Amino acid sequence: MANRVGQQLGNYRLVRLLGDGAFAEVYLGEHALLGTQAAIKVLNALLTSQEAQKFQDEARMIARLKHPNIVRVLEFGMQGKIPYLVMDYAPNGTLHDRHVSGTPVPLNTVVGYIKQVADALQYAHNAKLIHRDVKPENLLVGERNEILLSDFGIAVAAHSTRTQVIQDKIGTLPYMAPEQIDGYPVPASDQYALGIIVYQWLTGELPFQGTDVEIITKHRHAPPPPLRAKVPSIPPMVEQAVLMALQKDPKKRFASIQAFAYALEQAYLQAIAPTLPVVTPTPQVISPTLPVGQFTPPNPAAPVAKMYPPMPTRRPGTLICKRDGNFQFMVWSPDGKYIASTANQYIYIWDAASGKDVYNYNHSNIVRRVTWAPDGKWLASSSIDKTIQIRASKTGKLEFTYTGHFGAVKDVSWAPDSRLIVSASDDNSVHIWDMLTGYAISTYRDTLAAAWSPDGAFLAIAGTTGIQILDRGSLHQVAHVAFNEQISGVLNLKWSPNSRFLASYQLSGRANINLVQIWDTRSGRLLFNCDGSSMIWSPDGAFLATWTKGSERQSGTEIPRTRPARRISRSPLPQQVVQQQTVLGTSQQPHDVVQIWDVAAKKNVYIYTGHRQQISTVAWSPNGARIASASRDGTVQVWNATSGNYVFIYREHGGAVLNALYSPDGTSIASLGRGNSNVSISINIWAAS
């Protein structure tokens, strides 16, 4: 090893050696002019001109990685034939230094580390980079004790989104996946290495030890020793998540490295749930979850412990602001500060507190749908003019217009990562396309509807014979839901919040019925049927609310149910509502009621019968405690989600109420309805109860 202390590489003078390895030496460097410090990695190789070009190409790609948990590459170059990289200096050492081998690391600490590392690796995988040397020595501790993934200097750009075959064997043997040992690393190889690290931290030792030949043989053929045999206090679900990440076949591991981190966190939270205090929840962060057919939680449909935020201090029904206009549609921004509403071909973005316009724009024909990207940075609007516009949400600046459809675009929705978009058109096609490039990734013909799973791992696409469940990364089919008969259309698809179940409403080609069906997305099996044509899941995914829109076909055929006789809720409603509350099947019509279903028990819990006319929409409060239903009887009724007991009624529209939506924080409700003249349509924002 050459002693390079005192030498200058680029703008940096090498001050002292920080560490060395098989591929490189790392020095503390000081900028000759600025006096700032950086880590200088000098590769132990003399490169040919062709190899130097490859190094520079890869260094440019690595330098583009900008993530809070990845060490930044500030500069790179060649000193003669010797390549070097200039990186941010992390002064607090590595996790290898912090946690001595042989000493287990607390589970909560491990979960915190893995969330940061997996987020960084997922970002790299999305950029077509495989790290290939994930180990504690390459996990640095930053100035604020954040974890920083380093040593992307040996990462390799994958040139195919499908195969990503690399014919090298770079890595550190105790952490190398079987396919990486054979020279064919894939993104799941980094997941395997991270699984080895978790095993090592939780038990205090590596799962596979011995000579190099013995370690290679064990990686390829031997199952890891059970973690609980070494440390019995490790929760079983945590052990199961780690062992799944260590599957020999990369296809049997989690669908993504972030899915592994999420499963590990959920297993940890389930283990400590009985000891958790009731606190105000932070906003939900959607993360990938478990792959199809694997790692089944003890009861995925069971509700989690509810943690209700404080109720608002404003009196229920207090008007916050009002907008008049011939509106057809409205949606809250993810942060709850703004409303996007449509009126024919115009879209208005306005402040939800004052009602004042931020900006507006238009299509050349009627707008069918407007939706915010989950990160709040973008707006997508679809129109009868066969186009979709993507705009910057803050300024309204048009980024591009998607023109791939040949018919009116009826729906558009974002993947939870705000990158991919799926759109459905009256031309009976569904397109998946990249928001950054505007290019279609895949097109599906003879399809009617599509929906992303909340975890972002899957996409459901409905056709006339069934529903395909596709893996988000590869777009390969992982499950299929087959209908018993040919249908004439699917009007609605809704995933459960835990991405475990799918509710669908489809129009049969022969039966004159309204029917919502609940499917197991891992097996494609029908769980049970519900009355209704529209549905919404509770925030915890344990319950489903269904109702029938009066303009759609009413039940004409008896459908077998897997549930006991229904129970009617007797809510303490105002007198004018009580006199209308009768048993379903007499004066009450199917489109006048909301039915609540327990998904795990596959039965109807109660029926809310407080409305006098057709129900337009139903909204569940974000904390799961309340339900708001809007009706053409001129009311929005808020009721207790558990018991069905009436809480509050809002009547200020005067005419039919067409929609009602809770704000993201649950403190207010936006309702869209007609006035007394039944001509103008206004949007009222008012305090929720």
Q: What is the pLDDT of residues 193-235, one digit of tens each?
A: 999 999 999 999 999 999 999 999 999 999 999 999 999 999 9
Model confidence at 155: pLDDT above 50: no
Mean pLDDT of the region 608-635? 93
Model confidence at 550: pLDDT above 70: no
The answer to whether residues 255 and 474 touch, using CB atoms and an 8 Å cutoff, is: no
> So what's the pLDDT on residue 286?
31
- What number of CA atoms fall less than 13 Å from residue 226's CA on the CB side? 10
Question: 599 falls in which pLDDT band (50, 70, 90)?
Answer: very high
The answer to whether residues 32 and 11 touch, using CB atoms and an 8 Å cutoff, is: yes
CA distance 538 to 625: 9
Model confidence at 625: pLDDT above 70: yes
Please name each of the domains of the chain with its CATH number. Answer: 8-87 (3.30.200.20), 95-275 (1.10.510.10), 308-357+566-597+612-689 (no CATH)
Least confident window among 486-500, 526-540, 630-644: 486-500
CA distance 382 to 370: 7
Mean pLDDT of the region 404-430? 90
CA distance 26 to 297: 44
Output 574 or 112, whichever has higher pLDDT: 112
* Phi–psi pair at 99, nearest 5 degrees: -120, 105
> So what's the pLDDT on residue 170?
65
Task: Choose the most confident range, by mean pLDDT, from 47-61, 152-166, 499-513, 650-664.
Answer: 650-664
> So what's the pLDDT on residue 414?
94
CA distance 50 to 291: 41
Question: 570 falls in which pLDDT band (50, 70, 90)?
Answer: very low
Output 5 or 61, whichever has higher pLDDT: 5
CA distance 404 to 419: 17
- Edge to edge, the sheet with strand 24-31 lists 8-9, 12-20, 24-31, 37-43, 82-87, 73-79
Q: Give the model confidence (pLDDT) of 655-682 as tens digits.
A: 999 999 999 999 999 999 998 766 678 9
Longest distance between any two alpha carbons in the chain, whole Å: 92
Residue 231: Cβ within 10 Å count: 14
Model confidence at 279: pLDDT above 80: no
Structure tokens at 75: 């500069």
The answer to whether residues 647 and 689 touch, using CB atoms and an 8 Å cutoff, is: yes
The answer to whether residues 261 and 115 touch, using CB atoms and an 8 Å cutoff, is: yes
Question: 166 falls in which pLDDT band (50, 70, 90)?
Answer: very low
Mean pLDDT of the region 105-116? 91
Question: 486 falls in which pLDDT band (50, 70, 90)?
Answer: low
Q: Which residues pair with 686 in a beta bridge?
A: 319, 669
Output 312 or 75, whichever has higher pLDDT: 75
Going by the DSSP 8-state scheme, the letter that residue 390 receives in this structure is E
> So what's the pLDDT on residue 590?
64
> So what's the pLDDT on residue 18?
85
Structure tokens at 258: 């972030």
Question: 485 falls in which pLDDT band (50, 70, 90)?
Answer: low
Q: How far is CA 454 from CA 125, 196, 417, 534, in A?
A: 20, 28, 10, 19
* 308, burial (CB in 10 Å: exposed 0-12, middle 13-18, buried 19+): middle
Mean pLDDT of the region 537-553? 81
Q: Which residues pair with 584 in a beta bridge?
A: 588
* Phi–psi pair at 22, nearest 5 degrees: -65, -30
Residue 133 is among the residues annotated as catalytic for this protein: yes
Least confident window among 5-14, 41-50, 117-126: 41-50
Say which residue the tokens 């390895």 belong to.
21
Task: Choose the most confident range, by mean pLDDT, from 363-367, 419-423, 573-577.
Answer: 363-367
Task: Choose the most confident range, by mean pLDDT, from 62-71, 105-114, 307-316, 458-467.
Answer: 105-114
Output 127 or 496, whichever has higher pLDDT: 496
Model confidence at 484: pLDDT above 80: no
Model confidence at 305: pLDDT above 60: no
Structure tokens at 362: 């238009």
**Using CA atoms in the order 627, 630, 631, 632, what is the torsion angle rounded to 10 degrees?**
180
Model confidence at 290: pLDDT above 70: no
Going by DSSP bridges, is the β-strand pair 147-149/466-471 parallel, antiparallel, or unpaired? unpaired
Could you tell me which residues come within 8 angstroms of residue 143 by beta carbon, excluding any fewer than 6 positions away?
A: 90, 91, 92
Model confidence at 361: pLDDT above 80: yes
Average pLDDT over the chain reads 81
Question: 47 falls in which pLDDT band (50, 70, 90)?
Answer: confident
Say which residue the tokens 């560490």 belong to.
19
- Taking phi over 0 as left and psi of -120 to 50 as alpha, with beta for the rest, 288 belongs to beta
Residue 226: Cβ within 10 Å count: 16
- Report DSSP letters for 457-497, one per residue: SEEEEEESSEEEEEETTT--EEEEEEPSS-EEEEEEEEE-T
Q: List the catalytic residue out of 57, 88, 97, 133.
A: 133
